[in-house]
Amino acid sequence: MRCPVCNSEKFDAYGGRPQARCMSCGALERGRLSWMILQKLDHLRPGVRMLNMAPEPFMLFLGAKAIGDSYMATDYDPELFSKWDKQPVAKLDMCSDLAGMTPESFDVVMHNHVLEHLPCDVSTVLANLNRLLAPGGVHLFSAPIQPNRGTEEDLDPGLTPEERTQRFGQEDHLRMFGDRDFMNIVERAMPLDKLVDMSELITREELETAALAADVFDSLNGNRVFVWRK
């Protein structure tokens, strides 16, 4: 096994999942898969205009280095990234700021496990992100998706952290996506026929080498990264 991000061969458990995290760059399964997708689509190169929400550390360093000044990292709370001062992270509220941004200004927008945190309509956010893509641009995203259930959400700010953890798996989650209706949520924002079938570009052997499940594209799950092309 080898991390596609940093070439490390050392992995450790994370969240109860064996070999989930690269011990060198910290990339989790969804992060390693995102990196592989960006490589396959030739978007890890200088000049690619990329908007990365809630960036993972490996993207702040290795991704930003590969792309250069056209890489833009953002988060609702940039102070969370203050210890990594080499790469700036701009303030961005995905619920209120996207509509005012310039259309068709990015080649890539990417966010992993962010949608479950948003106190607003998920389909609207996805549609607003798609609006920011230039023609031919791609939208990469993933979310925790539970099997054999529908999506449940509760935006009541009065819910306690304990209640959110019990209902949605984490104290700052506002919803739990289910595989029965996740694609309905996506379809309200984008035509599903423009989703790229990455299983045709990434082999099962490449997935296993990257310490990923060979069947990650065979179902709706939290490690699967969706790719929509404008």
What's the CATH number where 50 sits? 3.40.50.150
Take residue 24 and report the two structure tokens written for it. 């060198």
How confident is residue 66, by pLDDT bands cut at 50, 70 and 90?
very high
Domain-embedded: residue 11: no
Domain-embedded: residue 39: yes
Domain-embedded: residue 154: yes
Q: DSSP 3-state assignment of 130?
A: helix
Please give the torsion angle defined by the CA atoms of residues 51, 53, 59 and 65, in that order, rounded to the nearest 10 degrees.
Answer: 30
Domain-embedded: residue 190: yes
Take residue 171 and report the two structure tokens written for it. 């104290």
Q: DSSP 3-state assignment of 24?
A: coil
| Distance in angstroms (rounded) separating the CA atoms of residues 22 and 9 | 8
Take residue 124 and report the two structure tokens written for it. 């609207």
Contact between 178 and 145 under an 8 Å Cβ cutoff? The reply is: yes
Residue 85 has pLDDT above 80, yes or no: no
Q: Model-level pTM?
A: 0.95
Domain-embedded: residue 222: yes
How many domains does the chain contain in total? 1
Q: Is 26 left (phi over 0), alpha (psi -120 to 50) or beta?
A: left
Count of beta carbons in the 10 Å neighbourhood of residue 186: 21
pLDDT (tens digit, 9 = 90+) per residue, 18-58?
999 999 999 999 999 999 999 999 999 999 999 999 999 99
Domain-embedded: residue 5: no
> What is residue 4's predicted lDDT score, i.e. its pLDDT?
98
Residue range of the domain that includes 105: 28-203+213-229
How confident is residue 87, by pLDDT bands cut at 50, 70 and 90?
confident
Residue 160 has pLDDT above 70, yes or no: yes
Domain-embedded: residue 12: no
Domain-embedded: residue 21: no
